[in-house]
Structure 1
Amino acid sequence: MKILSVIVPCYNSQSYMEHAILTLLSGGEDVEILLIDDGSADGTLNLAKKYESMHPDIIRVIHQENKGHGGALNTGIEVAAGAYLKVVDSDDWVNVDAYLKILDELKNVVRNNEPLDMLLSNFVYEKQGAKRKKVIHYRHYLDDDGLFMWSDIRGLPVTNYLMMHSIIYRTQILKKCGLKLPEHTFYVDSLYAFVPLSHVRTIRYMDLNFYRYFIGREGQSVQEKVMLTRLPQHERVTKLMIDAMVQAEPDVHDKALRKTMRNNLALTIAVDSIMSMLEDTKENRQNRKNIWLYLRESDKRLYRKIRMSPLGIGVNMPGWLGRKAAVGCYHLLQRLYGFN
C-alpha cells in the first residue's frame, strides 16, 4: 500500500511541470504520483507519459477531456490508492527535506495504525521577484508534538488560514465526505480545504515549510487581473462554501472547528467583496450585495457572526470612502503577504 497519493492536475503545463514532478519523485516508492492531464493541447501528456515510463511504480498518468481543476481533482480522489492524499499544482513544488520528514511521520502513523485524519504543515508564497517570502504557519496556535483534536486547540484565525497547500487528508476522509468539486470552475481549492473539515477529528501539525506556492506566472488564476474576469466563478465557489457551512454547522460541536470554518468562510466572502470593489461597477455592487444576501437567507445567525466580524465590517463600510478604505487595506495586505 502506498503511504501517500499526490494528485498533480496538469493543463498545458509542459513548460513548468517537471520541477513539481522531480521534487515529488524524491519520496520514492512510498508515494503514488497521479498526473492528471486535463485535456492539454501542448506536450503535457507526452511529458507525463515519459516520466511514467521512467518510474512506472511511482507515477500514473490519467488523460481525460478537459473538466477544469475541480474535474481533475475529482478524478484523482476517485483513483487514489494511498493511505493519505496531497494535491500539488503543476506550477508549484515541495521542499524535499520537509517532504521526507512528513513521509516518515505518515509511515509511522500507518505502521502504528494511528487515527490521523489530517496533517497540516506550512506553505510559502514563492512570489516571482519578491525578496521576502511570506510563510503561512500555525506555530502560535498548534503544537508540533503529536496527535490532537479540535477540542484541544483554540481554532485558527483569518491570518493563519487553511489552504489546500497546507493540508494532507486521510484519503478515506475525502472518499466518504461526499466532496464533489464543480467542473470548469476556478478557485475550487477553497472548497477542497473547507468541505472535509467537519469530518476531521484528529490532527497532526508539523512546523515545516513544505509546500512552495508559486505566484507570478502570466495568466495564473490568482492574478488580480485574471480574478476580475472570473468573478462569477469565485462567487459560485463562495456560495457552495456557504451551503457546506450551513449543512455542516448543526453537527459541528467543537468551538475550534466552528471558529476555523467560519473564519475561512469569512475570508472567502471578503475576497469576493474586495474583488468586486476593484472594478466598482453597478453590476459588481449588486453581485456583492447578493453574496451577503445569500448568506443571510441561508443562515441568519451565521450571517450576523460573519457580518459583525472585523472582516465583515471592513468590507461593508458605507459609501465611496468606505470602499476606498477597504481596497487600500487589501493592497497593504497584498504587499505584506504577496498573495497575487
Structure 2
Amino acid sequence: MKLLTFAIPSYNSQDYMEHCILSLLPGGDDVEILIVDDGSKDRTAEIADEYERKYPGIVRAIHQENGGHGEAVNAGIRNATGLFFKVVDSDDWVDYEAYMKILKKLRELAGGDTVLDMFIANYVYEKEGVRHKKIMRYSSLPQDKIFTWNEAGRFHKGQYILMHSVIYRTQLLRECGLELPKHTFYVDNIYVYKPLPSVKHMYYMDVDFYRYFIGRDDQSVNEKVMIGRIDQQIKVNKIMIDEFDLWKIPNPKLRHYMFNYLEIITVISTIMLIRSGTEENLEKKRELWKYIKDHDIRLFHHLRNGIMGNAMNLPGRGGRKISVAAYKLSQKIVGFN
C-alpha cells in the first residue's frame, strides 16, 4: 500500500499540468499520482500516459468521459491505494520542503497507535501579479501533535479548512459515503464538509504546502464566471444544507465550525446573486432563503442572525450596498478577483 495518493483532476490542462506533476514526483515510491483525464480535448491524455510510462508504479493515468471536477475526484477516491488522499488541481502545485516534512510526519503517524483522519497544512494564494502572497494559516489549531475537536480552538471568520489545506484518510472518505455530483463546480466545499463529522483525530503542521494558483480568466473562482455558474453554486449550497441536521452534531466545537462553514457558503451564493444585479437572480436569492426556511426554520434564523446573514438580507438597494462588506470577506475565502 502507498502512503499517500494524489488525485489530479485534469480537463484540457496541457499548458500547466506538468508543473503540478513535477512538484509531486519527489515523493517517490511513497506516493501514487493519479492523473484523472476528464474527457479532455487537448493533449492532456497524451501527457498523462507519457508520465505513466516514465514513472511506472508512481504515476497512473485514468481516462474517463467528461463528468466534471467532482467526478474526477470520485475516480481518484475509487482508484486510490494510498493510506491518505489529497486532491491537487492541475494548475496548482506543492512546495518541495513542506512536502518532504509532511511525508516524513505521515510515515511516523501511519505507524502509530492512533488512527489519523485528517492532516492539515497551510496553503498560499499564488495570485498573478501580486508580489505579497497571502498565506492561509490555522493559528487556532494545536501544532505538531495529534488532537481532537475538543482541543481545537475557535476558527476565526475567514479561516476555513479548504480542499487545498486538507489530506484525508482514504478509507474515511469511502466510509462516510462521499460521492460528489457530476458536472458541478464548487464541489470542493462538499468534499471538505461531508467527512467532518467522521473525523476524530487531526494533525496540523504549520508549513506552506499547497500553492493555489489564481489568475486565469476562465477559472471557476473568477467572479464573472461564478455569477455565470450561480446555479451550480446554489446546488452545492443546497446539498450542504440537506446533508446534516447540524443541531444534532454532538461536539459543540465541530457543530460551531460546520455552522460557520455553511454560513459562508450561503453568503457567497447570496453575494453573487446580489452582485449580478438581475431581477432573475434576486428572485433566486429569495428562493434560496425560502429553501432554507422550509428545510429548517432554526437554521434559517441562525443564518439570518449571523454576522453576515443580517447584511445579506437588508431590504432594498441600500441593504444590497451594505452586503458588499460581507463580499470582501467571501473574497478572501474563495480568492476570486
Per the shorter chain, which TM-score range? over 0.9
Aligned pairs (5 A) from 1:162-201: 162-201=161-200
The 3-state SS of whatever aligns with 2:56 is coil
How far apart, CA to CA, are the structure 1 residues paired with 2:173 and 2:333? 33
Q: Is the 8 A contact 1:134 1:337 kept in 2?
A: no
Q: Which amino acid in 2 is paired with 1:325?
A: I
Cα distance, 1:233 vs. partner?
0.5
Root-mean-square deviation (Å): 1.6
Deviating more after overlay: 302-311 vs 271-280: 302-311
Residue-by-residue CA offset, 1:302-322 (whole Å, 9 max, x unaligned) = 222221110111211221011
Q: Is the 8 A contact 2:16 2:91 kept in 1?
A: yes
The 3-state SS of whatever aligns with 2:104 is helix
User: What is the TM-score with the length of structure 2 in the denominator?
Assistant: 0.96
Residue-by-residue CA offset, 1:171-216 (whole Å, 9 max, x unaligned) = 1110100111000011100100111101111111111111111000
Q: Which amino acid in 1 is paired with 2:181?
A: P
Equivalent in the alignment of 1:78: 78
How far apart, CA to CA, are the structure 1 residues paired with 2:131 and 2:261? 28
Q: Assess, with a 3 A threshold, how the Cα gap between structure 1 residues 216 and 245 changes in structure 2: closer, same or farther.
A: same
Aligned pairs (5 A) from 1:127-138: 127-138=127-138
Cα distance, 1:334 vs. partner?
3.6
Structure 1 unaligned regions, length at least 5: none
The 3-state SS of whatever aligns with 2:173 is helix
Equivalent in the alignment of 1:245: 244
Q: Is the 8 A contact 1:70 1:183 kept in 2?
A: yes
The 3-state SS of whatever aligns with 2:158 is helix
User: What is the TM-score with the length of structure 1 in the denominator?
Assistant: 0.95
The 3-state SS of whatever aligns with 2:224 is helix
Equivalent in the alignment of 1:122: 122
How far apart, CA to CA, are the structure 1 residues paired with 2:177 and 2:326? 37
Q: Is the 8 A contact 1:11 1:38 kept in 2?
A: yes
Structure 2 unaligned regions, length at least 5: none
Cα distance, 1:249 vs. partner?
4.5
Cα distance, 1:158 vs. partner?
2.9
1:261 aligns with 2:253: no
Q: Which amino acid in 1 is paired with 2:108?
A: N
Q: Is the 8 A contact 2:221 2:335 kept in 1?
A: no
Equivalent in the alignment of 2:317: 320
Cα distance, 1:335 vs. partner?
7.5
Q: Is the 8 A contact 1:245 1:261 kept in 2?
A: no
Deviating more after overlay: 21-30 vs 128-137: 128-137
Residue-by-residue CA offset, 1:282-316 (whole Å, 9 max, x unaligned) = 11111111111111222222222221110111211
Cα distance, 1:134 vs. partner?
1.2
Residue-by-residue CA offset, 1:4-63 (whole Å, 9 max, x unaligned) = 000100000000001110000011110000000000000001011111111011101100
- Percent identity of equivalent pairs: 47
Give the paired residue count: 337
